[in-house]
Structure 1
Amino acid sequence: MNTSSTHFRLAHKIYDEAFKPSQAPSCNLYLYVSPKFIRVGVADMSRNKFVALEDYELISVFTPVQLSEQLSLIAEGSSLLQDHRWQTVRVSISNQHFTLVPETLFDPAHQSDYLRLHSEFSSQEDVVLNYKHNGLEAVNIFAVEGVVYRMVQSLFPERPVQFVHLTSTLIGSVMHQFGPNTERNLAIYVERNYVTVLVVSDQGLEFCNIFHYLSPEDFIYYIIFVMQEQKMNPEQGTITVWGDITHDSSLFSILQKYIRHVRFGKKPIDVEYSYKFNDLFEHRYFEIYSLHFCE
Protein backbone atom coordinates (compact mmCIF):
# COMPACT_ATOMS: atom_id res chain seq x y z
CA MET A 1 0.00 0.00 0.00
CA ASN A 2 1.43 3.36 -1.07
CA THR A 3 1.41 5.80 1.87
CA SER A 4 2.59 8.85 -0.11
CA SER A 5 0.39 11.96 -0.13
CA THR A 6 -1.50 12.82 -3.31
CA HIS A 7 -0.12 15.86 -5.12
CA PHE A 8 -1.91 15.68 -8.45
CA ARG A 9 -5.27 16.35 -10.04
CA LEU A 10 -6.88 14.78 -13.08
CA ALA A 11 -7.19 17.58 -15.64
CA HIS A 12 -8.57 15.58 -18.58
CA LYS A 13 -9.80 12.04 -19.18
CA ILE A 14 -10.93 11.04 -22.66
CA TYR A 15 -11.98 7.58 -23.79
CA ASP A 16 -13.48 6.65 -27.13
CA GLU A 17 -16.58 4.52 -26.61
CA ALA A 18 -15.21 1.88 -28.96
CA PHE A 19 -12.03 1.42 -26.92
CA LYS A 20 -12.06 -1.61 -24.64
CA PRO A 21 -9.32 -2.96 -22.33
CA SER A 22 -9.32 -6.19 -24.33
CA GLN A 23 -7.88 -4.21 -27.26
CA ALA A 24 -4.64 -3.43 -25.41
CA PRO A 25 -2.51 -5.99 -27.34
CA SER A 26 -3.24 -4.10 -30.57
CA CYS A 27 -2.64 -0.68 -29.02
CA ASN A 28 0.39 1.43 -28.10
CA LEU A 29 0.61 3.16 -24.75
CA TYR A 30 2.40 6.51 -24.64
CA LEU A 31 3.52 8.09 -21.37
CA TYR A 32 4.87 11.61 -20.87
CA VAL A 33 6.67 12.29 -17.59
CA SER A 34 7.70 15.76 -16.39
CA PRO A 35 7.87 17.54 -13.02
CA LYS A 36 4.62 19.37 -13.90
CA PHE A 37 2.50 16.80 -15.73
CA ILE A 38 2.09 13.08 -16.25
CA ARG A 39 0.12 12.25 -19.38
CA VAL A 40 -1.02 8.94 -20.84
CA GLY A 41 -2.19 8.33 -24.39
CA VAL A 42 -3.39 5.24 -26.26
CA ALA A 43 -3.25 4.71 -30.01
CA ASP A 44 -5.14 1.83 -31.61
CA MET A 45 -2.58 0.61 -34.13
CA SER A 46 -5.12 -1.42 -36.11
CA ARG A 47 -6.95 1.82 -36.90
CA ASN A 48 -3.99 4.22 -36.56
CA LYS A 49 -6.13 6.26 -34.19
CA PHE A 50 -5.79 7.89 -30.77
CA VAL A 51 -8.56 6.52 -28.57
CA ALA A 52 -7.69 7.52 -24.98
CA LEU A 53 -5.97 10.29 -23.04
CA GLU A 54 -5.38 10.97 -19.35
CA ASP A 55 -3.78 14.21 -18.19
CA TYR A 56 -2.57 14.61 -14.59
CA GLU A 57 -1.33 17.96 -13.29
CA LEU A 58 1.28 17.65 -10.55
CA ILE A 59 1.17 20.00 -7.59
CA SER A 60 4.16 20.81 -5.35
CA VAL A 61 6.39 18.14 -6.87
CA PHE A 62 10.03 19.22 -6.69
CA THR A 63 12.27 16.12 -6.65
CA PRO A 64 12.65 12.92 -8.70
CA VAL A 65 11.61 10.88 -5.66
CA GLN A 66 8.39 12.89 -5.33
CA LEU A 67 7.78 12.52 -9.06
CA SER A 68 8.15 8.74 -8.90
CA GLU A 69 5.82 8.61 -5.89
CA GLN A 70 3.11 10.54 -7.74
CA LEU A 71 3.51 8.32 -10.80
CA SER A 72 2.98 5.29 -8.55
CA LEU A 73 -0.16 6.83 -7.04
CA ILE A 74 -1.53 7.75 -10.46
CA ALA A 75 -0.91 4.19 -11.66
CA GLU A 76 -2.95 2.81 -8.75
CA GLY A 77 -6.02 4.65 -10.07
CA SER A 78 -5.43 4.39 -13.82
CA SER A 79 -6.58 1.26 -15.65
CA LEU A 80 -4.27 2.24 -18.52
CA LEU A 81 -1.18 2.07 -16.33
CA GLN A 82 -2.34 -1.16 -14.69
CA ASP A 83 -2.61 -3.04 -17.99
CA HIS A 84 0.55 -4.91 -19.05
CA ARG A 85 -0.60 -6.15 -22.45
CA TRP A 86 0.20 -3.16 -24.66
CA GLN A 87 1.79 -3.78 -28.04
CA THR A 88 4.39 -1.06 -27.35
CA VAL A 89 5.10 1.13 -24.32
CA ARG A 90 6.92 4.34 -25.17
CA VAL A 91 7.87 6.96 -22.57
CA SER A 92 8.91 10.58 -23.13
CA ILE A 93 11.11 12.16 -20.46
CA SER A 94 11.16 15.94 -20.05
CA ASN A 95 14.34 17.45 -18.60
CA GLN A 96 17.39 19.44 -19.74
CA HIS A 97 19.80 16.49 -19.60
CA PHE A 98 20.31 15.78 -23.30
CA THR A 99 22.71 16.33 -26.18
CA LEU A 100 22.65 15.51 -29.89
CA VAL A 101 25.78 14.07 -31.53
CA PRO A 102 26.45 12.96 -35.12
CA GLU A 103 25.88 9.25 -35.57
CA THR A 104 29.35 8.86 -37.12
CA LEU A 105 30.95 10.09 -33.89
CA PHE A 106 28.75 8.17 -31.48
CA ASP A 107 30.32 5.45 -29.36
CA PRO A 108 27.88 3.84 -26.87
CA ALA A 109 30.73 3.16 -24.46
CA HIS A 110 31.30 6.91 -24.09
CA GLN A 111 27.73 8.22 -24.14
CA SER A 112 27.97 9.44 -20.53
CA ASP A 113 31.12 11.37 -21.45
CA TYR A 114 29.34 13.11 -24.33
CA LEU A 115 26.42 14.04 -22.11
CA ARG A 116 28.64 15.29 -19.29
CA LEU A 117 30.02 17.99 -21.60
CA HIS A 118 26.57 19.55 -21.88
CA SER A 119 24.65 18.57 -18.77
CA GLU A 120 25.13 18.23 -15.02
CA PHE A 121 23.58 14.88 -14.24
CA SER A 122 24.30 12.35 -11.52
CA SER A 123 26.37 9.45 -12.79
CA GLN A 124 25.50 7.54 -9.58
CA GLU A 125 21.75 8.13 -9.55
CA ASP A 126 20.72 8.72 -13.19
CA VAL A 127 20.43 6.32 -16.11
CA VAL A 128 21.97 7.43 -19.41
CA LEU A 129 20.17 6.29 -22.57
CA ASN A 130 20.23 7.12 -26.26
CA TYR A 131 17.84 7.39 -29.17
CA LYS A 132 18.92 7.21 -32.81
CA HIS A 133 17.37 9.64 -35.31
CA ASN A 134 17.70 7.69 -38.55
CA GLY A 135 16.57 10.55 -40.76
CA LEU A 136 19.03 12.99 -39.19
CA GLU A 137 22.00 10.64 -38.82
CA ALA A 138 22.18 11.86 -35.21
CA VAL A 139 21.90 10.30 -31.76
CA ASN A 140 20.15 11.94 -28.81
CA ILE A 141 21.92 11.05 -25.55
CA PHE A 142 19.89 11.78 -22.43
CA ALA A 143 19.64 11.02 -18.73
CA VAL A 144 16.63 9.76 -16.79
CA GLU A 145 16.47 10.08 -13.02
CA GLY A 146 17.07 6.61 -11.65
CA VAL A 147 14.03 6.53 -9.35
CA VAL A 148 11.75 7.60 -12.23
CA TYR A 149 13.32 5.05 -14.59
CA ARG A 150 12.83 2.20 -12.13
CA MET A 151 9.27 3.25 -11.31
CA VAL A 152 8.28 3.25 -14.99
CA GLN A 153 9.92 -0.14 -15.50
CA SER A 154 8.04 -1.54 -12.51
CA LEU A 155 4.70 -0.53 -14.04
CA PHE A 156 5.31 -2.71 -17.10
CA PRO A 157 7.28 -5.75 -15.94
CA GLU A 158 6.10 -7.87 -18.86
CA ARG A 159 6.93 -5.40 -21.65
CA PRO A 160 10.14 -3.73 -22.82
CA VAL A 161 9.79 0.03 -22.31
CA GLN A 162 11.23 2.42 -24.87
CA PHE A 163 12.45 5.68 -23.34
CA VAL A 164 12.95 8.76 -25.50
CA HIS A 165 13.77 12.34 -24.61
CA LEU A 166 11.10 14.99 -25.17
CA THR A 167 13.33 16.71 -27.74
CA SER A 168 13.43 13.55 -29.86
CA THR A 169 9.65 13.30 -29.96
CA LEU A 170 9.37 16.96 -30.91
CA ILE A 171 12.11 16.83 -33.56
CA GLY A 172 10.55 13.86 -35.32
CA SER A 173 7.03 15.20 -35.19
CA VAL A 174 7.86 18.80 -36.18
CA MET A 175 9.89 17.66 -39.17
CA HIS A 176 7.11 15.24 -40.12
CA GLN A 177 4.59 18.08 -39.80
CA PHE A 178 6.49 20.56 -41.96
CA GLY A 179 7.58 18.02 -44.57
CA PRO A 180 10.88 17.51 -46.43
CA ASN A 181 10.60 20.59 -48.66
CA THR A 182 9.86 23.08 -45.91
CA GLU A 183 11.20 26.60 -45.74
CA ARG A 184 13.22 27.56 -42.69
CA ASN A 185 10.87 27.44 -39.68
CA LEU A 186 11.09 28.16 -35.98
CA ALA A 187 8.90 25.99 -33.75
CA ILE A 188 8.49 26.16 -29.98
CA TYR A 189 6.98 23.77 -27.49
CA VAL A 190 5.90 25.42 -24.24
CA GLU A 191 5.90 23.72 -20.86
CA ARG A 192 5.43 25.40 -17.51
CA ASN A 193 8.78 27.18 -16.92
CA TYR A 194 10.46 25.50 -19.92
CA VAL A 195 10.42 26.18 -23.64
CA THR A 196 11.94 23.97 -26.33
CA VAL A 197 13.05 25.86 -29.43
CA LEU A 198 13.62 24.14 -32.79
CA VAL A 199 14.79 25.49 -36.14
CA VAL A 200 14.12 23.18 -39.08
CA SER A 201 14.50 23.55 -42.83
CA ASP A 202 14.75 21.41 -45.96
CA GLN A 203 18.29 20.65 -44.78
CA GLY A 204 16.96 19.06 -41.58
CA LEU A 205 17.35 20.11 -37.96
CA GLU A 206 19.45 23.26 -37.53
CA PHE A 207 18.91 24.09 -33.85
CA CYS A 208 17.43 22.47 -30.74
CA ASN A 209 17.60 23.53 -27.10
CA ILE A 210 15.50 23.80 -23.95
CA PHE A 211 15.44 27.01 -21.91
CA HIS A 212 14.23 27.56 -18.36
CA TYR A 213 12.17 30.72 -17.87
CA LEU A 214 10.55 32.29 -14.82
CA SER A 215 8.67 35.18 -16.45
CA PRO A 216 7.26 36.21 -19.85
CA GLU A 217 10.31 38.47 -20.23
CA ASP A 218 12.65 35.49 -19.78
CA PHE A 219 10.52 33.52 -22.22
CA ILE A 220 10.68 36.06 -25.05
CA TYR A 221 14.36 36.81 -24.41
CA TYR A 222 15.38 33.24 -25.24
CA ILE A 223 13.24 33.11 -28.37
CA ILE A 224 14.53 36.44 -29.71
CA PHE A 225 18.07 35.36 -28.82
CA VAL A 226 17.71 32.18 -30.88
CA MET A 227 16.23 34.12 -33.80
CA GLN A 228 19.14 36.55 -33.75
CA GLU A 229 21.72 33.77 -33.54
CA GLN A 230 20.01 31.93 -36.39
CA LYS A 231 19.67 35.15 -38.43
CA MET A 232 15.88 35.00 -38.48
CA ASN A 233 13.89 38.24 -38.69
CA PRO A 234 11.08 38.65 -36.10
CA GLU A 235 9.31 40.93 -38.59
CA GLN A 236 9.28 38.32 -41.33
CA GLY A 237 9.60 34.84 -39.89
CA THR A 238 6.72 32.74 -38.57
CA ILE A 239 6.77 30.96 -35.23
CA THR A 240 4.64 27.85 -34.75
CA VAL A 241 3.62 27.22 -31.14
CA TRP A 242 2.60 23.99 -29.43
CA GLY A 243 2.19 23.01 -25.78
CA ASP A 244 0.78 24.43 -22.56
CA ILE A 245 -0.01 27.94 -23.72
CA THR A 246 -3.34 29.63 -24.42
CA HIS A 247 -4.52 32.45 -26.67
CA ASP A 248 -5.13 34.77 -23.71
CA SER A 249 -1.94 33.99 -21.77
CA SER A 250 0.81 36.50 -21.00
CA LEU A 251 3.26 34.27 -22.89
CA PHE A 252 1.23 34.43 -26.10
CA SER A 253 0.70 38.17 -25.70
CA ILE A 254 4.42 38.84 -25.44
CA LEU A 255 5.09 36.62 -28.46
CA GLN A 256 2.67 38.71 -30.51
CA LYS A 257 4.26 41.92 -29.22
CA TYR A 258 7.75 41.08 -30.48
CA ILE A 259 7.10 38.69 -33.39
CA ARG A 260 4.84 39.62 -36.28
CA HIS A 261 3.70 36.15 -37.36
CA VAL A 262 2.73 33.74 -34.57
CA ARG A 263 0.48 30.75 -35.12
CA PHE A 264 -0.64 27.76 -33.10
CA GLY A 265 0.37 24.35 -34.42
CA LYS A 266 -2.00 21.56 -35.34
CA LYS A 267 -2.24 17.97 -34.20
CA PRO A 268 0.23 15.72 -36.04
CA ILE A 269 -0.89 14.51 -39.45
CA ASP A 270 -1.01 10.90 -40.69
CA VAL A 271 -2.79 9.62 -37.60
CA GLU A 272 -6.47 9.83 -36.72
CA TYR A 273 -8.14 10.93 -33.50
CA SER A 274 -11.36 9.94 -31.81
CA TYR A 275 -14.05 12.60 -32.09
CA LYS A 276 -13.71 12.91 -28.31
CA PHE A 277 -10.46 14.82 -28.96
CA ASN A 278 -12.27 17.49 -30.98
CA ASP A 279 -12.91 19.67 -27.94
CA LEU A 280 -9.19 19.98 -27.18
CA PHE A 281 -7.07 22.80 -28.55
CA GLU A 282 -5.19 21.59 -31.63
CA HIS A 283 -1.81 22.67 -30.22
CA ARG A 284 -2.22 20.87 -26.89
CA TYR A 285 -0.87 17.37 -26.09
CA PHE A 286 1.63 17.54 -28.95
CA GLU A 287 4.15 15.71 -26.75
CA ILE A 288 1.84 12.69 -26.42
CA TYR A 289 0.77 12.63 -30.06
CA SER A 290 4.39 12.96 -31.18
CA LEU A 291 5.38 9.70 -29.48
CA HIS A 292 3.42 7.96 -32.22
CA PHE A 293 6.10 8.91 -34.74
CA CYS A 294 9.13 7.61 -32.84
CA GLU A 295 10.73 4.43 -34.13
Structure 2
Amino acid sequence: MNTISTNFRLSHKIHDEGFSLSNADNCNLYLSLAQKSIRLAVADLERNKFVVLEDYELITVFTPAQIAEQLRLIASENPLLKEQNWKTIRVSVSNQHFTLVPETLYDPAHQQDYLRLHSNLNPLLDDVLSYRHSNLEAVNIFAIERVLRETIQDLFPDRQIQFVHQTSSLIKSILHMAGRSIPRSMYVFVERGLATILVADEHGLQFCNIFQYHSPEDFIYYVIFVMQEQKMNPEQETITVWGDITHDASLFTILQKYIRQVKFGKKPQNMGYSYKFDDLFEHRYFELYSLHLCE
Protein backbone atom coordinates (compact mmCIF):
# COMPACT_ATOMS: atom_id res chain seq x y z
CA MET A 1 0.00 0.00 0.00
CA ASN A 2 1.35 3.42 -1.00
CA THR A 3 1.33 5.70 2.04
CA ILE A 4 3.23 8.61 0.48
CA SER A 5 1.12 11.78 0.32
CA THR A 6 1.04 13.99 -2.73
CA ASN A 7 2.61 17.28 -1.69
CA PHE A 8 3.19 18.96 -5.03
CA ARG A 9 1.23 21.20 -7.34
CA LEU A 10 1.80 21.61 -11.08
CA SER A 11 2.02 25.40 -11.38
CA HIS A 12 3.13 25.66 -15.02
CA LYS A 13 3.05 23.28 -17.95
CA ILE A 14 4.12 24.10 -21.50
CA HIS A 15 4.24 21.54 -24.29
CA ASP A 16 4.91 22.65 -27.84
CA GLU A 17 2.62 20.72 -30.18
CA GLY A 18 5.58 19.98 -32.44
CA PHE A 19 7.33 17.94 -29.73
CA SER A 20 6.97 14.18 -29.59
CA LEU A 21 8.61 11.68 -27.28
CA SER A 22 9.50 9.65 -30.34
CA ASN A 23 12.10 12.35 -31.01
CA ALA A 24 13.65 12.11 -27.53
CA ASP A 25 16.98 10.90 -28.91
CA ASN A 26 17.41 14.34 -30.49
CA CYS A 27 16.43 16.20 -27.30
CA ASN A 28 18.00 16.98 -23.94
CA LEU A 29 16.11 16.60 -20.67
CA TYR A 30 16.93 19.09 -17.92
CA LEU A 31 15.83 18.83 -14.29
CA SER A 32 16.20 21.42 -11.56
CA LEU A 33 15.83 20.18 -7.98
CA ALA A 34 15.33 22.71 -5.20
CA GLN A 35 13.87 22.73 -1.72
CA LYS A 36 10.57 24.19 -2.94
CA SER A 37 10.34 23.00 -6.54
CA ILE A 38 11.02 20.31 -9.11
CA ARG A 39 11.28 21.67 -12.65
CA LEU A 40 11.68 19.94 -16.01
CA ALA A 41 12.54 21.24 -19.47
CA VAL A 42 13.16 19.71 -22.87
CA ALA A 43 15.45 21.27 -25.47
CA ASP A 44 14.91 20.09 -29.04
CA LEU A 45 18.40 20.07 -30.58
CA GLU A 46 17.19 19.75 -34.17
CA ARG A 47 14.94 22.80 -33.86
CA ASN A 48 17.39 24.53 -31.50
CA LYS A 49 14.68 25.54 -29.06
CA PHE A 50 13.04 24.75 -25.74
CA VAL A 51 9.77 22.94 -26.33
CA VAL A 52 8.64 21.70 -22.89
CA LEU A 53 8.59 23.14 -19.38
CA GLU A 54 6.94 21.76 -16.26
CA ASP A 55 7.11 23.41 -12.85
CA TYR A 56 6.06 21.44 -9.76
CA GLU A 57 5.72 23.44 -6.57
CA LEU A 58 6.52 21.45 -3.44
CA ILE A 59 4.18 21.98 -0.50
CA THR A 60 5.04 21.07 3.12
CA VAL A 61 8.19 19.31 1.95
CA PHE A 62 11.16 19.84 4.24
CA THR A 63 13.79 17.13 3.76
CA PRO A 64 15.73 15.62 0.84
CA ALA A 65 14.00 12.30 1.45
CA GLN A 66 10.62 14.01 1.07
CA ILE A 67 11.76 15.71 -2.14
CA ALA A 68 12.83 12.30 -3.43
CA GLU A 69 9.41 10.86 -2.52
CA GLN A 70 7.63 13.61 -4.45
CA LEU A 71 9.93 13.14 -7.42
CA ARG A 72 9.06 9.44 -7.52
CA LEU A 73 5.35 10.29 -7.37
CA ILE A 74 5.70 12.76 -10.24
CA ALA A 75 7.74 10.25 -12.25
CA SER A 76 5.13 7.52 -11.79
CA GLU A 77 2.72 9.50 -13.97
CA ASN A 78 5.05 11.63 -16.08
CA PRO A 79 6.01 10.39 -19.56
CA LEU A 80 9.08 12.64 -19.65
CA LEU A 81 10.58 10.86 -16.65
CA LYS A 82 9.69 7.44 -18.00
CA GLU A 83 11.39 8.08 -21.34
CA GLN A 84 14.91 6.61 -21.48
CA ASN A 85 16.20 7.74 -24.88
CA TRP A 86 17.11 11.37 -24.20
CA LYS A 87 20.34 12.47 -25.85
CA THR A 88 21.54 14.06 -22.60
CA ILE A 89 20.05 14.13 -19.09
CA ARG A 90 21.34 16.98 -16.96
CA VAL A 91 20.28 17.69 -13.37
CA SER A 92 21.01 20.73 -11.21
CA VAL A 93 20.74 20.81 -7.43
CA SER A 94 20.15 23.88 -5.30
CA ASN A 95 21.78 23.98 -1.87
CA GLN A 96 24.48 25.89 -0.01
CA HIS A 97 27.02 23.05 -0.16
CA PHE A 98 29.46 24.16 -2.84
CA THR A 99 32.86 25.76 -3.27
CA LEU A 100 34.90 26.94 -6.26
CA VAL A 101 38.54 25.84 -6.30
CA PRO A 102 41.22 26.98 -8.80
CA GLU A 103 41.91 24.19 -11.23
CA THR A 104 45.64 24.35 -10.50
CA LEU A 105 44.97 23.49 -6.86
CA TYR A 106 42.31 20.86 -7.45
CA ASP A 107 43.04 17.25 -6.54
CA PRO A 108 40.08 14.88 -7.07
CA ALA A 109 41.24 12.73 -4.17
CA HIS A 110 40.68 15.65 -1.79
CA GLN A 111 37.44 17.13 -3.05
CA GLN A 112 35.63 16.20 0.18
CA ASP A 113 38.32 18.01 2.14
CA TYR A 114 37.85 21.18 0.10
CA LEU A 115 34.10 21.13 0.64
CA ARG A 116 34.35 20.40 4.38
CA LEU A 117 35.99 23.81 4.81
CA HIS A 118 32.69 25.41 3.76
CA SER A 119 29.97 22.86 4.56
CA ASN A 120 28.92 20.40 7.21
CA LEU A 121 28.98 17.20 5.21
CA ASN A 122 27.49 13.92 6.33
CA PRO A 123 29.32 11.13 4.46
CA LEU A 124 26.43 8.77 5.25
CA LEU A 125 23.89 11.02 3.51
CA ASP A 126 25.80 13.18 1.00
CA ASP A 127 27.73 12.48 -2.19
CA VAL A 128 30.42 14.93 -3.27
CA LEU A 129 30.68 15.69 -6.99
CA SER A 130 32.46 18.24 -9.14
CA TYR A 131 32.02 20.25 -12.33
CA ARG A 132 34.90 21.83 -14.25
CA HIS A 133 34.52 25.40 -15.50
CA SER A 134 37.06 25.53 -18.31
CA ASN A 135 36.45 29.24 -18.96
CA LEU A 136 37.20 30.04 -15.31
CA GLU A 137 39.97 27.50 -14.85
CA ALA A 138 38.10 26.46 -11.72
CA VAL A 139 36.24 23.45 -10.38
CA ASN A 140 32.88 23.65 -8.61
CA ILE A 141 32.86 21.04 -5.83
CA PHE A 142 29.40 20.38 -4.43
CA ALA A 143 27.32 17.96 -2.41
CA ILE A 144 24.09 16.29 -3.40
CA GLU A 145 21.99 14.34 -0.96
CA ARG A 146 22.48 10.66 -1.78
CA VAL A 147 18.75 9.94 -1.68
CA LEU A 148 18.19 12.48 -4.48
CA ARG A 149 21.05 11.20 -6.59
CA GLU A 150 19.94 7.58 -6.22
CA THR A 151 16.33 8.47 -7.01
CA ILE A 152 17.35 10.17 -10.26
CA GLN A 153 19.61 7.27 -11.16
CA ASP A 154 16.79 4.82 -10.46
CA LEU A 155 14.57 6.72 -12.92
CA PHE A 156 17.22 6.33 -15.64
CA PRO A 157 19.01 3.11 -14.62
CA ASP A 158 20.99 2.63 -17.82
CA ARG A 159 21.92 6.25 -18.42
CA GLN A 160 24.82 8.41 -17.33
CA ILE A 161 23.35 11.45 -15.59
CA GLN A 162 25.26 14.71 -15.47
CA PHE A 163 24.78 16.42 -12.11
CA VAL A 164 25.77 20.06 -11.64
CA HIS A 165 25.32 22.56 -8.86
CA GLN A 166 22.85 25.32 -9.67
CA THR A 167 25.60 27.92 -9.27
CA SER A 168 27.44 26.34 -12.21
CA SER A 169 24.53 26.82 -14.58
CA LEU A 170 24.07 30.42 -13.38
CA ILE A 171 27.79 31.18 -13.77
CA LYS A 172 27.93 29.71 -17.27
CA SER A 173 24.88 31.63 -18.41
CA ILE A 174 25.76 34.99 -16.84
CA LEU A 175 29.31 34.99 -18.18
CA HIS A 176 28.04 33.93 -21.60
CA MET A 177 25.49 36.77 -21.66
CA ALA A 178 27.81 39.41 -20.22
CA GLY A 179 30.78 38.80 -22.48
CA ARG A 180 34.18 40.27 -21.73
CA SER A 181 33.45 43.98 -22.08
CA ILE A 182 31.17 44.50 -19.09
CA PRO A 183 31.81 46.83 -16.18
CA ARG A 184 31.72 45.32 -12.70
CA SER A 185 28.11 44.16 -12.24
CA MET A 186 25.99 42.30 -9.68
CA TYR A 187 23.50 39.56 -10.48
CA VAL A 188 20.99 38.03 -8.06
CA PHE A 189 19.07 34.81 -8.53
CA VAL A 190 16.13 34.55 -6.13
CA GLU A 191 14.53 31.40 -4.76
CA ARG A 192 12.15 31.11 -1.85
CA GLY A 193 14.46 31.43 1.12
CA LEU A 194 17.72 31.52 -0.86
CA ALA A 195 19.50 34.22 -2.85
CA THR A 196 22.50 33.50 -5.07
CA ILE A 197 24.60 36.64 -5.52
CA LEU A 198 27.24 36.88 -8.24
CA VAL A 199 29.61 39.66 -9.26
CA ALA A 200 31.40 39.66 -12.59
CA ASP A 201 33.53 42.04 -14.61
CA GLU A 202 35.69 41.99 -17.74
CA HIS A 203 38.07 39.59 -15.98
CA GLY A 204 35.32 37.06 -15.26
CA LEU A 205 33.61 35.90 -12.09
CA GLN A 206 34.67 37.80 -8.98
CA PHE A 207 32.16 36.58 -6.38
CA CYS A 208 29.56 33.84 -5.98
CA ASN A 209 27.75 32.77 -2.84
CA ILE A 210 24.32 31.68 -1.64
CA PHE A 211 22.58 33.29 1.32
CA GLN A 212 19.60 32.04 3.26
CA TYR A 213 17.07 34.75 4.08
CA HIS A 214 13.91 34.78 6.19
CA SER A 215 12.66 38.29 5.48
CA PRO A 216 13.10 41.15 2.97
CA GLU A 217 15.39 42.78 5.54
CA ASP A 218 17.65 39.71 5.56
CA PHE A 219 17.65 39.71 1.79
CA ILE A 220 18.70 43.34 1.35
CA TYR A 221 21.28 43.03 4.13
CA TYR A 222 23.16 40.37 2.15
CA VAL A 223 22.91 42.34 -1.10
CA ILE A 224 24.32 45.49 0.52
CA PHE A 225 26.94 43.48 2.41
CA VAL A 226 28.28 41.96 -0.83
CA MET A 227 28.25 45.34 -2.56
CA GLN A 228 30.33 46.82 0.25
CA GLU A 229 32.76 43.90 0.21
CA GLN A 230 33.11 44.25 -3.57
CA LYS A 231 33.49 48.05 -3.33
CA MET A 232 30.32 48.70 -5.31
CA ASN A 233 28.13 51.77 -4.81
CA PRO A 234 24.35 51.20 -4.42
CA GLU A 235 23.79 54.73 -5.77
CA GLN A 236 25.61 53.97 -9.01
CA GLU A 237 25.23 50.26 -9.70
CA THR A 238 22.61 48.34 -11.67
CA ILE A 239 21.55 44.97 -10.27
CA THR A 240 20.06 42.32 -12.55
CA VAL A 241 17.66 39.85 -10.93
CA TRP A 242 16.18 36.53 -12.04
CA GLY A 243 14.11 33.85 -10.40
CA ASP A 244 11.06 33.66 -8.17
CA ILE A 245 10.49 37.39 -7.76
CA THR A 246 7.91 39.74 -9.26
CA HIS A 247 7.52 43.50 -9.74
CA ASP A 248 5.12 43.75 -6.81
CA ALA A 249 7.02 41.46 -4.43
CA SER A 250 8.36 42.81 -1.14
CA LEU A 251 11.86 41.68 -2.14
CA PHE A 252 11.75 43.79 -5.29
CA THR A 253 10.34 46.77 -3.39
CA ILE A 254 13.15 46.73 -0.86
CA LEU A 255 15.74 46.35 -3.62
CA GLN A 256 14.41 49.48 -5.30
CA LYS A 257 14.53 51.31 -1.97
CA TYR A 258 18.26 50.77 -1.50
CA ILE A 259 19.63 50.24 -5.03
CA ARG A 260 19.54 52.98 -7.66
CA GLN A 261 18.87 50.72 -10.66
CA VAL A 262 17.22 47.28 -10.49
CA LYS A 263 16.24 45.40 -13.62
CA PHE A 264 14.90 41.97 -14.46
CA GLY A 265 17.15 39.69 -16.48
CA LYS A 266 16.29 38.07 -19.80
CA LYS A 267 16.15 34.47 -20.91
CA PRO A 268 19.45 33.06 -22.20
CA GLN A 269 19.64 33.65 -25.94
CA ASN A 270 21.84 30.71 -26.88
CA MET A 271 18.65 28.77 -27.66
CA GLY A 272 15.25 29.57 -29.11
CA TYR A 273 11.97 29.08 -27.30
CA SER A 274 8.63 27.79 -28.48
CA TYR A 275 6.05 30.55 -28.90
CA LYS A 276 4.24 28.97 -25.95
CA PHE A 277 6.97 30.36 -23.67
CA ASP A 278 6.03 33.91 -24.63
CA ASP A 279 3.52 34.23 -21.78
CA LEU A 280 6.16 33.53 -19.12
CA PHE A 281 8.11 36.31 -17.43
CA GLU A 282 11.53 36.61 -19.08
CA HIS A 283 13.34 36.34 -15.74
CA ARG A 284 11.64 33.13 -14.60
CA TYR A 285 13.24 29.68 -14.98
CA PHE A 286 16.68 31.13 -15.71
CA GLU A 287 18.34 28.31 -13.77
CA LEU A 288 16.54 25.70 -15.88
CA TYR A 289 17.30 27.28 -19.25
CA SER A 290 20.92 27.84 -18.22
CA LEU A 291 21.50 24.10 -17.92
CA HIS A 292 21.74 24.08 -21.71
CA LEU A 293 25.09 25.88 -21.47
CA CYS A 294 26.66 23.25 -19.21
CA GLU A 295 28.58 20.64 -21.13
Q: TM-score, normalised by structure 1?
A: 0.99
Alignment partners' CA distance in 2, 1:158 and 1:46: 24
Tell me whether 1:267 sits opposite 2:267 in the alignment: yes
How far the C-alpha of 1:35 sits from its partner, in A, is: 1.1
How far the C-alpha of 1:78 sits from its partner, in A, is: 1.3
Q: Which residue number corresponds to residue 156 of structure 2?
A: 156
Tell me whether 1:140 sits opposite 2:140 in the alignment: yes
Whether the 8 Å contact between 1:187 and 1:198 is mirrored in structure 2 is yes
Q: Which residue number corresponds to residue 289 of structure 2?
A: 289
How far the C-alpha of 1:2 sits from its partner, in A, is: 4.6
Q: How does 1:1-295 map to 2 (within 5 A)?
A: 2-295=2-295
Alignment partners' CA distance in 1, 2:249 and 2:81: 32
Give 5+ residue unaligned stretches, structure 2: none
Deviations 1:74-94 (A, max 9, x none): 111211111111000000000
Alignment partners' CA distance in 1, 2:262 and 2:249: 14
How far the C-alpha of 1:243 sits from its partner, in A, is: 0.2
Structure 1 residue matching 2:136: 3-state secondary structure: coil
Alignment partners' CA distance in 1, 2:240 and 2:17: 33
Alignment partners' CA distance in 1, 2:51 and 2:3: 32
* Letter paired with 2:132: K
Structure 2 residue matching 1:176: 3-state secondary structure: helix
Alignment partners' CA distance in 2, 1:77 and 1:227: 45
How far the C-alpha of 1:158 sits from its partner, in A, is: 2.1
* Letter paired with 2:277: F
How far the C-alpha of 1:3 sits from its partner, in A, is: 3.3
- Size of the alignment, in residue pairs? 295
* Letter paired with 1:255: L
Alignment partners' CA distance in 2, 1:190 and 1:119: 21
Whether the 8 Å contact between 1:2 and 1:73 is mirrored in structure 2 is no
How far the C-alpha of 1:160 sits from its partner, in A, is: 0.6
Give 5+ residue unaligned stretches, structure 1: none
* Letter paired with 2:98: F
Structure 2 residue matching 1:6: 3-state secondary structure: coil
Deviations 1:46-79 (A, max 9, x none): 1210000000000011111111000101111211
* Letter paired with 1:247: H
Deviations 1:75-117 (A, max 9, x none): 1121111111100000000000000000000000000000000
What is the percentage of aligned positions where both structures have the same residue? 66
Alignment partners' CA distance in 1, 2:72 and 2:180: 41
Deviations 1:171-230 (A, max 9, x none): 000111111221111000000000000001110100000000000000000000000000
Alignment partners' CA distance in 2, 1:173 and 1:126: 27
* Letter paired with 1:119: S
Tell me how large the CA RMSD over aligned residues is: 0.8
Tell me which stretches of 4 or more aligned residues in structure 1 moved more than 4 Å: none
Structure 1 residue matching 2:222: 3-state secondary structure: helix
